[in-house]
Amino acid sequence: MQRRNFLTLVGTILAAAPVWANVYNSRVISPKAGELAFPELPYPYDALEPYIDARTMELHYDKHHRGYFNNFKAAVKDTPLADQDIETIFSKVSAHSSAVRNNGGGYYNHKLFWENMGPAKTSPSAKLARAIDRGFGSFDKFKETFSGAARSHFGSGWAWLVAGAGGKLFVSSTPNQDNPLMDVAAQKGTPLLALDVWEHAYYLHYQNRRAEYVDNFWNIVNWDVVSKRFELV
């Protein structure tokens, strides 16, 4: 079978797999860091057009994400960290090298980010919708809080919807490739929704218009995945 046909077949199988398969892979199995494989993109490069263009997606996944992954694997190779799952590594990341922190975060954050987007129109589960109303007053207020965090984060980083203690939801942002699972995070919890606000995530299509990129993100959030993550908290 030609490589292209094989990749199409893999993509078809992944698209047909239940949504929880991705969530399960990322949050429950938690393989040892030394055994991690580079994750498949859950959809073709052009699936999120026109909101995220195919060229940006290809570079972002195949160059940036793959680079973080390869560098993380190299950083843990032949060290005790190779036998730990990545959540455990993040929980003590201040004790590890910047290569582990930056590349481990880069690997993990992008995996979450790809999974919490998709071309299909979805909406939060009833349980997640109730938690959003409790945490922010309304869905629109949540969106404005999250968009504000994403727009105003200075420099490279991420915006997050996070489940904290008791499942209480909050919005935060982190610098560089940090995330809310890391001991260095100002506000810690389980990430439910991630948005990459590094310029490499939007500059080809949006140039300096980060706000437009953030507004368009709401068209491609995969609420099925976000709702499943909340179920697992």
- Site residues, Mn ion (CB under 5 A): 196, 198, 201
Nearest-approach distance from CB 168 to Mn ion, in angstroms: 28
Alpha-carbon torsion 95, 101, 105, 108, what sign? Answer: negative
Of residues 51 and 142, the one with the C-beta less far from Mn ion: 51
The amino acid sitting at 79 is T
Nearest-approach distance from CB 137 to Mn ion, in angstroms: 31
Distance, in Å, from the CA atom of 75 to the CA atom of 69, rounded to the nearest integer, reads: 10
DSSP-derived letter for residue 37 is -
Of residues 170 and 203, the one with the C-beta less far from Mn ion: 203
Using only C-alpha atoms, the chain has a radius of gyration, in whole angstroms, of 17
Nearest-approach distance from CB 158 to Mn ion, in angstroms: 8
Backbone φ and ψ of 178, nearest 5°: -70, 160
Of residues 142 and 198, the one with the C-beta less far from Mn ion: 198
Bridge partners for 175 per DSSP: 157
Of residues 59 and 211, the one with the C-beta less far from Mn ion: 59
Of residues 56 and 227, the one with the C-beta less far from Mn ion: 56
Sequence-distant contacts of 208-216: CB under 8 A, at least 24 apart? 210/150, 210/151, 211/147, 211/151, 214/147, 214/150, 214/151, 214/159, 215/147, 216/51, 216/52
Of residues 169 and 201, the one with the C-beta less far from Mn ion: 201
Nearest-approach distance from CB 104 to Mn ion, in angstroms: 14
Nearest-approach distance from CB 180 to Mn ion, in angstroms: 17
Nearest-approach distance from CB 107 to Mn ion, in angstroms: 11
**142, 174, 176, 148: which is closest to 160 by C-alpha?**
174
Distance, in Å, from the CA atom of 132 to the CA atom of 138, rounded to the nearest integer, reads: 7
